[in-house]
Structure 1
């Protein structure tokens, strides 16, 4: 991919074991996401930067580290299985409906003032359905179905530390998957669990009100 001023790659370094006798930790760049800088607002100190994740990438090689890390990346996208197109369409519809149902429950839940916004799921769904920027390299852009399959992987109101940890693990699984239908099934399972969790919290909340 050619260098562009309004894009960068965010990646996670995973610790790896080279040998039992190694005294220093070694790391590998496992997950990468191509990020688009949408807006930069200059502040008195620093800047407020709005970014948008665009798609998964694999770092082919590092080229330099000064003044910042640079390298070559290639897109990672799901395999296209035309035989499962009807199943894919059906699961996408189910996912979108389930996300809306979950969000309808979530906004009824009383949350502390410092809690995350209760619209993360809907915002994620809207982002997935947004048209990509005109200047974006299409070879790096996932399909609409692939983008939607990631949209449910958001925290919900009142999530415990264990639930957030579980969500992180599910996100990593989703990043590894190359089958959109498989990821949709993972997302639907998570949505169903979250609906049950929110419904239980709402039941407790109604008892407290009484």
Structure 2
């Protein structure tokens, strides 16, 4: 949950995550506080942490609030733009899709691992495994026990349900990319598809906040990390 610190009508929250993402509820809290007439802003938590006394060893509500106030006084730290409810709604579809994708990968790897225990190894592509599974489960000559055949059959059905959920998410994302004017402009760029276009415009409400494409790339985390001296790349 977001940590909050405030003074004279100005409220700061530290949002855990990247500069373009914050912890659960931070954007909602800011929207609600603005309704009350307060000037609420979000600071990236990884930048606020640098101002906490004794670092992570003294992390508690009091030191977090003090660090927020200290970080808020630094002119070089820029607040995270507050997302609208509509933006968060589209981004939630993207997050669900990524979750389903990770879960599907886990299911596929689980099936492969179980089959490999009985000497059944198949090509790496999910399509090759999916095509071979019906024959494997029906083949009475392999060593697969009956209970495992039933379990694998349930996993295959779960895989199918995850594919359906991903397809639904992609349908909603594609619809957003077709109907949102900014997403259509982003999709017209070379190498940008509907999923990326939808995610970009849902993440950034106002692109004029960036002075250049380089600054936007740095904000999204595309810029390389620097750990030594020398010239800035």
TM-score interval, normalised by the smaller of the two chains: under 0.3
Which of 1 and 2 has greater Rg? 2
Greater fraction of residues in strand: 1
Greater fraction of residues in helix: 2
TM-score calculated relative to the size of structure 2: 0.21
TM-score calculated relative to the size of structure 1: 0.23
